[in-house]
Chains A and B, each alone.
Chain A
Amino acid sequence: MIRVYIVDDHAVVIEGIYSLLQKEKDIEMAGYAANADTCIQYFSIHTADVILMDISLPDMNGVDLCKLIKKNYPGIMVLALSTFNQGTYIRKMMESGASGYLLKNAGKQEIVEAIKAVTKGKTYFSFDAGQALKSHTDQQNAIPPLTKREKEVLANVADGLTNTQIAEKLFISIDTVDTHRKNLHTKLNVNNTAMLIRFAIENKLL
């Protein structure tokens, strides 16, 4: 029997999930809370296997509550429950120790599947949440696109111009040229001009 606890400030969500899960033979409802405080008090005395946790609660956000629960009771699996299908929220919850992310448009079958998956130590994402997380990660791994000014500064550096010459040519201050150069170094993860030019040539940025 999997004991499930719900934290959500919307009564309709709690009642909805309760009635959806009541007839499931492997699942038992442990209880519910409308805010983080009640939830924390409950777990100081009782326990459960899975917490369905809304990420926006009136007294604390889900990210912090999740951290707290996982720190004190690492054996309890947290399944984030949210209407937000945004990479940031999903990533934040996962970093805080959640085992999965369920969107509130999920049906009964999906909820049951998610609960069962996380109790087995697996992670579970609603399809859309998985997609949002993926595009979020893809975005972070690619070579970052350069801005117009960065490209111009890069081309001029490659042509051997000094910061002063570049500043005059582009009608910007020397300071700004320097900022663009520093940004190029950070973005492309290089330490000096020689490495910058080599990286730019190898990756056809010039």
Chain B
Amino acid sequence: MPEALVKFGLQEALRDFCDAIESSSGIRIVFQQFGEKRKLSNTAEVFIYRIIQELVNNAVKHAEAERVIVQLTMSADKTGITVEDDGKGFDKNDLSFARGAGMANINYRVQYFSGKSDIVSSRGNGTSVHIELKT
């Protein structure tokens, strides 16, 4: 488990992660957290942390984005994750994006928590990934 996750919990660990990526990449990363601040199971927290890491890395490495929004929302039985960038986007009909190991990993994790994912993207209009997990 990442050290910050153990020490400070999911919200603070994600905030630190976003701060660190912002300073190393120069891309503005806005982290926002809403709703309840529940402590989830370790598995759920690690999965969420890893999913967000993967999505933010995708945005930073491939999207040529200037700003990324990372959002974590929690209700009594669900956790929502949104990672959205203002980068170059992609054509969803071009499925090559879905064949990478990163997306496969995310899909596996989403299924594990009987979650749903919703990806909005088109060329020139950035990418927005929304994931909901039952936690």
Contact = CB atoms under 8 A, between A and B. Distances in A.
B30 A179 contact: no
A108 interface: no
B30 A139 contact: yes
Given A87-B19, A88-B16, A186 B73 contact: yes
Interface stretch (A29-37, A117-125, A142-150, A155-163): A142-150
Interface in A84-115: 86-89, 92
B118 A149 contact: yes
A173 B116 contact: yes
A88 B8 contact: yes
Contact of A88 (B19, B32, B35, B82): B19
Nearest to B86: A148
A61 interface: yes
A182 interface: yes
Given A61-B7, A149-B118, A173-B116, A86 B34 contact: no
B8 A149 contact: no
B126 interface: yes
Given A86-B20, A145-B30, A147-B84, A176 B8 contact: no
A147 B7 contact: no
Contacts of A145: 30, 32, 69
Given A88-B12, A145-B30, A179 B80 contact: yes
Contacts of B75: 179, 182
A147 B82 contact: yes
A110 B97 CA distance: 51
Contacts of A173: 116
Contacts of A88: 8, 12, 15-16, 19
B80 A183 contact: yes
Interface string B98-135: 00000000000000000010101000001010101000
Contacts of A187: 32, 34
Listed from nearest, the 10 A-B pairs whose CB atoms lie closest are A148-B128, A186-B34, A147-B82, A147-B84, A183-B73, A144-B32, A172-B118, A88-B15, A86-B19, A88-B16
Given A148-B128, A176-B130, 12 more contacts: A86-B19, A88-B16, A147-B69, A148-B84, A172-B118, A176-B118, A176-B132, A179-B78, A182-B75, A183-B34, A186-B34, A187-B34
29 contacts: A86-B16, A88-B16, A89-B16, A92-B12, A139-B30, A139-B31, A144-B32, A144-B34, A145-B30, A145-B69, A147-B71, A148-B84, A148-B128, A149-B82, A149-B118, A149-B120, A173-B116, A175-B132, A176-B116, A176-B118, A179-B73, A179-B75, A182-B35, A182-B75, A183-B35, A183-B73, A186-B34, A186-B35, A187-B34
